[in-house]
Amino acid sequence: MTATHPAIELKGISKAFGPVQANKDISIRVMPGTIHGIIGENGAGKSTLMSILYGFYKADAGEVFISGQKTEIPDSQAAIAAGIGMVFQHFKLVENFTVLENIILGAEDGGFLKPSLAKARKSLVELAAEYELNVDPDARIEEIGVGMQQRVEILKALYRQADILILDEPTGVLTPAEADQLFRILGRLREEGKTIILITHKLREIMDTTDTVSVMRRGEMTATVKTSETSPEQLAELMVGRKVLLRVDKTPAAPGPVVLDIQNLRVVDDQKVERLRGIDLQVRAGEILGIAGVAGNGQSELLEVLGGYADGTGTVTLNGQPIDLTGKYSDGRSRRDNGIAHVPEDRQREGLIMDFAAWENTAFGYHRDPAYTSGMLSNNAAIKTETQAKMDRFDVRPPNLQLAAKNFSGGNQQKIVLAREIERNPDLLLVGQPTRGVDIGAIEFIHQQIVALRDQGKAILLVSVELEEILSLADRVAVMFDGRIMGERLSQDTDEKELGLLMAGVGA
């Protein structure tokens, strides 16, 4: 690969899915030996563009050049043959295979595995030493952490002799320390002449890691700039088309009485595995308690038992009154009756019925409210009137109450759920991953609504895997690891490094 040609050049790429124009006349040049960031709002067309480059989709129009040569990429095998590797957000690994077996899977030499495994083992040792990608070749995928699994995905691509690596949201499941290590590895790959395309919504990662960044909006490429010549604020404005406040603007909390008191909360799942191992927590009126941790360490189970989705043991009180954790009153309806509102982590599976209209979704869980009923029947006119008002207050776009939930963007789906729950004037709001998959403009709005509820004297329990979000939004932070609380900190007295250690199970 010579430096006279771009490693990748896309010219006039367009792709439509029915009436939706996902990519419109996109041209981009990625120079060899650089880290090139691609950012944009949810639905901007980033993943579609990379899927065309990796052979998952065929463009309706346009050309692809690899190192100056026009290249047809009808499928992923052609992409691999062209020296392109892709590390997906959700890893493509066989859980009960070893690292070595996963690396050769699909790239075996002939019908005999033994020579393939021996060759792969030798290459793996060399690659690991060259790029600091140390991982036990005989470990099973199910036995290693997500950080190591990501290394395996990178090694898979390098084993196939990829000179170009595409990484899609690579830090979503990593601790801060694992993310730092990943970026050190990417820096090493760049030094060795590899070309990296980094898709991420985290502006700080773009600023810290990339040489060049391209911004997409509504299927078009709006700008490509040198990272050293831009700023997070400018990039956010290019993404959204207006100025965006990147920090959470809030006054110091004024905590009041204890609203939620949790003592020795335990949850055992259907496989008899203890997911919560004696949780003790308190949330006061007028404060946001953030729960930090890598996904899978008990945060979901905490929200589920508090929201009435799962049974548990221990003692939980709301405003001094005990909450039944088992039996006939342990359900979502009783929680709502007690003054608990819940914005679940997965809005599409737990927060909405995707085929139902917006006005129907704004009433779910509260459809027995006297304001929504007329005798034995639902008062649909009242529900629709209130839905229209909520859509206006929460800036839901389009403000079409008849539109099915599945036809709104992720950010607007989240606004529908938030409007339904916040407007019930709860004593306690449970909110999980409030801005997952949400556009940067909608993130700003959602944060403002959560802070406004806190300022009304409500208690908020916030779960997020985004440490930056936790630190800027929460007043206090509790870190979960392996079903336990590893420690609590005031947000202004801690930082990502300290919280990252707690997330990894180190310190207290």
The yes-or-no verdict on residue 419 having pLDDT over 80 is yes
DSSP 215: E
Looking at the structure, do residues 373 and 463 belong to the same domain, yes or no?
Answer: yes
Name the nearest CA neighbour of 366 among 422, 414, 415. 422
Q: Which parts of 269-312 are beta strand (E)?
A: 274-284, 287-292
Looking at the structure, do residues 232 and 266 belong to the same domain, yes or no?
Answer: no
Element (H, E) at 69: strand 69-70
Looking at the structure, do residues 170 and 77 belong to the same domain, yes or no?
Answer: yes
Looking at the structure, do residues 226 and 288 belong to the same domain, yes or no?
Answer: no
Asked whether residue 164 is assigned to any structural domain, the reply reads yes
Name the nearest CA neighbour of 405 among 367, 346, 362, 343. 362
| Total domains, the chain | 2
Looking at the structure, do residues 291 and 215 belong to the same domain, yes or no?
Answer: no
Alpha-carbon separation of residue 269 from 226, 275, 277, 350 (angstroms): 49, 7, 12, 18
Looking at the structure, do residues 277 and 223 belong to the same domain, yes or no?
Answer: no
The yes-or-no verdict on residue 329 having pLDDT over 60 is no
Asked whether residue 439 is assigned to any structural domain, the reply reads yes
Angle at 12 between CA 6 and CA 13, to 5 degrees: 95
Name the nearest CA neighbour of 217 among 27, 37, 23, 40. 40
What does pTM read for this prediction? 0.74
Please give the residue range of the domain that contains residue 124.
Answer: 8-240
Looking at the structure, do residues 235 and 264 belong to the same domain, yes or no?
Answer: no
Question: In this structure, what CATH number is given to the domain that contains residue 277?
Answer: 3.40.50.300
- Are 352 and 361 in contact by the 8 Å Cβ rule? The answer is yes
Asked whether residue 120 is assigned to any structural domain, the reply reads yes
Residues 76, 77, 81, 85: what is their CA dihedral angle, to the nearest 10 degrees?
40
pLDDT band of residue 4 (cuts 50, 70, 90) is: confident
pLDDT value at residue 254: 95
Cα–Cα distance for residue pair 126/120, rounded to 1 Å = 10
With 0-12 CB in 10 A as exposed, 13-18 as middle and 19+ as buried, what is 74? Answer: exposed
Asked whether residue 1 is assigned to any structural domain, the reply reads no
- Are 462 and 473 in contact by the 8 Å Cβ rule? The answer is yes
- Are 435 and 202 in contact by the 8 Å Cβ rule? The answer is no
Cα–Cα distance for residue pair 41/217, rounded to 1 Å = 7
How many CA atoms are closer than 13 Å to the CA of 279, on its beta-carbon side?
32
Q: What is the mean pLDDT of residues 268-282?
A: 93
Asked whether residue 253 is assigned to any structural domain, the reply reads no
How many CA atoms are closer than 13 Å to the CA of 201, on its beta-carbon side?
22
Q: What is the mean pLDDT of residues 63-91?
A: 91
Looking at the structure, do residues 224 and 275 belong to the same domain, yes or no?
Answer: no
Cα–Cα distance for residue pair 182/186, rounded to 1 Å = 6
Q: What is the mean pLDDT of residues 460-469?
A: 92
Cα–Cα distance for residue pair 163/82, rounded to 1 Å = 9
pLDDT band of residue 2 (cuts 50, 70, 90) is: very low
Strand-pair partners of 225: 213
Single residue among 214, 240, 266 that ends a domain in this structure: 240
The yes-or-no verdict on residue 12 having pLDDT over 60 is yes
Looking at the structure, do residues 194 and 289 belong to the same domain, yes or no?
Answer: no
pLDDT value at residue 417: 96
Cα–Cα distance for residue pair 91/65, rounded to 1 Å = 27
Q: What is the mean pLDDT of residues 305-329?
A: 90
Cα–Cα distance for residue pair 402/414, rounded to 1 Å = 17
Asked whether residue 248 is assigned to any structural domain, the reply reads no
The yes-or-no verdict on residue 348 having pLDDT over 90 is no
3-state SS of 165-183 is: EEEECCCCCCCHHHHHHHH
Alpha-carbon separation of residue 189 from 132, 311, 318, 470 (angstroms): 10, 48, 53, 31
Single residue among 186, 205, 240 that ends a domain in this structure: 240
Spatial neighbors of 260 by CB under 8 A, at least 6 apart, are 281, 282, 283, 306, 316, 317, 318, 428, 459, 461
Strand-pair partners of 196: 35, 165
pLDDT value at residue 118: 82
Q: Mapping DSSP to helix (H, G, I), strand (E, B) and coil, where does residue 28 land?
A: strand
Asked whether residue 249 is assigned to any structural domain, the reply reads no
Looking at the structure, do residues 224 and 285 belong to the same domain, yes or no?
Answer: no
Strand-pair partners of 478: 291, 488
Look at 221-230, 298-307, 405-414 and tell me which has the smallest mean pLDDT.
Answer: 405-414
> Where is mean pLDDT largest: 105-119, 265-279, 322-336?
265-279
Asked whether residue 492 is assigned to any structural domain, the reply reads yes
Looking at the structure, do residues 211 and 283 belong to the same domain, yes or no?
Answer: no
CB atoms within 10 A of CB 447: 20
pLDDT in tens, 246-255: 778 899 999 9
Single residue among 188, 210, 240 that ends a domain in this structure: 240
Cα–Cα distance for residue pair 269/280, rounded to 1 Å = 19
- Token pair listed for 275: 């997911």
Cα–Cα distance for residue pair 104/218, rounded to 1 Å = 38
* Portion of the chain with pLDDT greater than 90, in percent: 56
Please count the residues of the chain: 508
Looking at the structure, do residues 233 and 346 belong to the same domain, yes or no?
Answer: no
pLDDT band of residue 1 (cuts 50, 70, 90) is: very low
